[in-house]
Amino acid sequence: MSKLGQTPSQTVGPYFAYGLTPTQYGYPLKSAAGPEVEGLAEAGGPRIRLEGRVLDGQGAVIEDAMLEIWQADAQGRYPGAPGGANSGFTGFARCGTGTAPDKSYRFETVKPGCAEPGCAPHINMIVFSRGLLSHAYTRVYFQDEATANDSDPVLALVPEDRRNTLIAKRLETDQGIVYRFDIRMQGDGETVFFDL
């Protein structure tokens, strides 16, 4: 009897557009979440747009990635937590990278407040992409929160020379405040990802 080899693994995707963001891609199905966090009117604080691209190890744009964000409201309260966020604010949004001409993602939300004493405002992000057998977790911190970033306990665990991969750059545009956050999946300048 011959010994059989291991079954080769498969890469994941690209099914995100149809299954998880159908409205964004023009499919006749309802999305559970879109690129705008629901309940922004009740969230308080400044409205922002978080945008960027997902890049591979060579710097090429990944056209079929999908991202999810989860965040506190402007007062630092998460939906569903005791004393949680304002009613209606979900803190959650989902966006694919395949519909914009430059294959970027764009989230409409509010700038979060500090959720805990000593923590910097941040947005939690999950990246789903072709070739990933498991999604990747990261955080988005803000360039204009340098003092809070310096004292954040999670950011302090990241080697100093890699912290910049977690900092979104602030831009003031005609459409309002934009934070630019490109995600590099591997290679030089790889974004820091966290194990949960």
Q: What is the DSSP string of the chain?
A: -PPPPPPPP----S-HHHHH-TTTTT-SS--S--SB-TTHHHH-S-EEEEEE-EE-TTS-B-TT-EEEEEE--TTS--TTSTT-SPTT---EEEEESSSSTT--EEEEEE----SSTTPPPEEEEEEE-TT-SS-EEEEEEETT-HHHHHH-HHHHTS-GGGGGGGEEEEEEETTEEEEE--EE-SSTTPPP-B--
Spell out the domain ranges in the chain: 16-184
- pLDDT reported for residue 19: 75
- pLDDT reported for residue 2: 63
- Cα separation of the two ends of the chain: 42
The CATH class of the 16-184 domain is: mainly beta
- pLDDT reported for residue 134: 82
Average pLDDT by consecutive 10-residue portion of the chain (196 residues)? 62 64 85 90 89 94 93 90 74 92 95 94 93 88 97 96 97 94 95 91
- pLDDT reported for residue 54: 96
- pLDDT reported for residue 21: 84
- pLDDT reported for residue 121: 97
- pLDDT reported for residue 85: 59
Give residues with Cβ within 8 angstroms of 162, minimum separation 6. Answer: 192
User: Which pTM value belongs to this model?
Assistant: 0.88
Q: Which two tokens stand for residue 29?
A: 């199905």
